[in-house]
């Protein structure tokens, strides 16, 4: 079976993890500061805060941006559920808007139309590592007095048309290091924020940096990332360029191998100077194909795949809590119905890509025959 994802971890990760274990400083130690510094330098931002997950980071970033119960945040329905959940945690309401069919990121016109009187901010997601249209969203935010928090959890290594790395435009931005991301710490995340002191305090139960043990001056959480995880992060950052290059190599092979399959939609190529940071390889099946049957048929041919991503507003919790229904966001719903993630990882060989392409071609051809 060709797996969906596979982390690259080697001797350097073992060495640094061992260094932490032997140092006895397993949490809030020097490896934490080292990982944060290295990440900030890589992005070209002044500072960053490591946290226990991307979700935790989004929660802290939204709190630091300023959010009150009942307020609204405009965001994408075509994302991993965490980018909407972090708003719900604060008693606020995610307001979804439709996406752009090419990039699959929120459509700035739809976002502007979704901004109501109670809107506090915009939460764009750089889905599948492709940069969201931040210049357009920044204009909306400025006109309407909104903050922006970027969900860059899938977008390490991506760049905007002006050359700036995703996450380095001066808004709060959150990255994630779950095992399938561009770099992994097992579980983990990073918040780029001008409110570092607040983020660092709230990840640590609300303790101020200069406060004594167990004294707390605000509400906080345990969103700390251990130094063992940070050691993994440092080793992974050292090999980031190689990892990114390998991912784009695999993506290029896929795009070549899949180009001939009729009706199949591939990830959009880079345009206007925007550069994708390759995270997953997601294709949209031809119109009319049944996704679940395709996934089963691929599995029978030794290829793992999964629906990626289901629309958030149509998940049962969101339907029940916020009264969503089908038909609200036609583009997002169409894309969500047809999208599957194919196996995608840096060490993937040319023959594995060919194997996946052949299986997918058979499966899609099967639909063509069964339809006619
Ligand atoms: C991975 C991811 C997150 C964060 O996930 P965690 O598992 O909490 O690290 C958030 N948003 C998106 C779009 C993601 O892909």
CATH code 3.40.640.10 for 11-97+104-238: yes
* Among candidate residues 236, 261, 266, the one with its CA nearest the CA of residue 251: 266
Name the residue with the closest Cα to ligand 1, atom 6. Answer: 54
For the entire predicted model, the pTM comes to 0.97
Ranges in the chain annotated CATH 3.40.640.10: 11-97+104-238
What is the 352 CA–ligand 1 centroid distance (Å)?
Answer: 27
Mean pLDDT of 334-349: 97
Q: Could you tell me the two tokens for 33?
A: 């500061």
Q: Can you tell me which atom of ligand 1 is nearest the CA of 79? A: 13
Residue that has been written with the tokens 């339907």 in this structure? 319
**Structure confidence at residue 211 (pLDDT):** 62
What are the residue ranges of CATH 3.90.1150.10 in the chain? 240-371
Q: pLDDT per residue over 123-182, tens digit each?
A: 999 999 999 999 999 999 999 999 999 999 999 999 999 999 999 999 999 999 999 999
Give pLDDT, residue 40.
98
Name 148's bridge partners: 122
Check if the beta carbon of residue 188 is closer than 8 Å to that of residue 226: no
| Upstream peptide bond of 203 is cis (omega within 30 degrees of 0) | no
Task: For residue 5, give both structure tokens.
Answer: 């994802």
Mean pLDDT of 298-319: 97
Cross-strand bridge partners of residue 175: 190
Beta strand 119-123 with 93-96 is unpaired
**Nearest-CA neighbor of 360 among 302, 316, 315, 313?**
302
Pairing mode of beta strands 72-75, 49-51: unpaired
The rounded distance, in Å, linking the Cα atoms of 16 and 228 is: 8
Determine the residue of 154, 180, 203, 225 to mutate for testing ligand 1's pocket, defined as the one with the most ligand atoms within 8 A of the Cβ atom: 154
- Ligand 1 pocket check for 72: Cβ under 6 Å: no
pLDDT at 209 (0 to 100): 74
When pLDDT is cut at 50, 70 and 90, the band that residue 213 belongs to is low
- In the structure encoding, which two tokens stand for residue 218, read together? 């605000």
Q: Is the CB of 83 under 6 A from ligand 1?
A: yes
Output the CA 79–ligand 1 centroid distance in Å.
Answer: 9
Asked whether residue 100 carries a pLDDT value surpassing 60, the answer given is: yes
8-state DSSP, 342: E
Q: Are 232 and 16 in contact (CB under 8 A)?
A: yes
CA dist list (Å): 149 to 30, 81, 104: 28, 15, 18
Residue 82 has pLDDT above 70, yes or no: yes
Question: Does position 372 have pLDDT exceeding 50, yes or no?
Answer: no
CATH 3.90.1150.10 is the classification of domain 240-371? yes
What's the pLDDT band for 311 if we cut at 50, 70, 90? very high
- How does pLDDT run across 251-281, given as a tens digit for each residue? 999 999 999 999 999 999 999 999 999 999 9
> Strands 189-192, 172-176: parallel, antiparallel or unpaired by DSSP?
antiparallel
As given in the structure block, the two tokens for residue 124 are: 């764009």
Among 305, 344, 44, 52, which Cα is nearest to 199's? 52
Mean pLDDT check: name the lowest of 68-77, 183-192, 216-225, 341-350: 216-225
- Told to judge if 296 belongs to the known catalytic residues of this protein, a careful annotator would answer no
| Cα(17) to centroid(ligand 1), Å | 24
Q: What are the DSSP E strand ranges found in 52-146?
A: 72-75, 93-96, 119-123
Q: What is the pLDDT of residues 33-68, one digit of tens each?
A: 999 999 999 999 999 999 999 999 999 999 999 999
d(CA 176, CA 101): 25
Burial of 164 (0-12, 13-18, 19+ CB in 10 A): middle
What local confidence, expressed as pLDDT, does residue 208 receive? 81
CB 95 within 8 A of CB 74: yes
């Amino acid at each position: 079976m060709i797996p969906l994802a596979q982390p690259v971890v080697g001797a350097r990760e073992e060495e640094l993890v061992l260094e932490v274990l032997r140092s006895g400083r397993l949490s809030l130690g020097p490896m934490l500061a080292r990982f944060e510094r290295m990440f900030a330098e890589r992005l070209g931002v002044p500072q960053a805060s490591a946290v226990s997950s991307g979700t935790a980071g989004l929660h802290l970033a939204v709190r630091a941006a300023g959010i009150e119960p009942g307020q609204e945040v405009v965001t994408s329905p075509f994302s991993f559920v965490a980018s909407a959940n972090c708003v719900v945690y604060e008693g606020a309401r995610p307001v979804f808007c439709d996406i752009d069919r090419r990039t699959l990121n929120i459509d700035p016109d739809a976002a502007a139309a979704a901004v109501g009187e109670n809107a506090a901010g915009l939460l764009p997601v750089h889905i599948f590592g492709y940069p969201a249209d931040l210049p357009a969203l920044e204009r909306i935010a400025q006109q309407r007095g909104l903050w922006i928090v970027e969900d860059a959890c899938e977008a390490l290594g991506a760049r905007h048309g002006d050359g700036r790395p995703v996450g380095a435009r001066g808004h709060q931005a959150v990255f994630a290091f779950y095992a399938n991301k561009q770099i992994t710490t097992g579980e983990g995340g990073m918040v780029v924020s001008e409110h570092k002191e607040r983020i660092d305090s709230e990840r640590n139960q609300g303790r101020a940096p200069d406060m004594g043990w167990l004294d707390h001056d605000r509400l906080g959480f345990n969103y700390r990332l251990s130094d063992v995880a940070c050691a993994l992060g440092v080793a992974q950052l050292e090999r980031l360029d190689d990892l990114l290059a390998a991912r784009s190599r695999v993506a290029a092979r896929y795009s070549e191998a899949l180009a001939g399959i009729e009706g199949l939609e591939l990830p959009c190529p880079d345009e206007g100077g925007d550069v994708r940071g390759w995270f997953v390889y997601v294709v949209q099946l031809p119109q009319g194909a049944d996704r679940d049957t395709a996934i089963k048929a691929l599995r029978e041919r030794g290829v793992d795949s999964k629906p990626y991503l289901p629309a958030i507003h149509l998940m049962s919790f969101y339907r029940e809590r916020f009264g969503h229904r089908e038909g609200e966001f036609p583009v997002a719903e169409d894309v969500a119905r047809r999208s599957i993630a194919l196996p995608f990882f840096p060490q993937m060989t040319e023959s594995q890509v060919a194997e996946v392409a052949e299986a997918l071609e058979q499966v899609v051809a099967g639909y063509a025959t069964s339809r006619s």
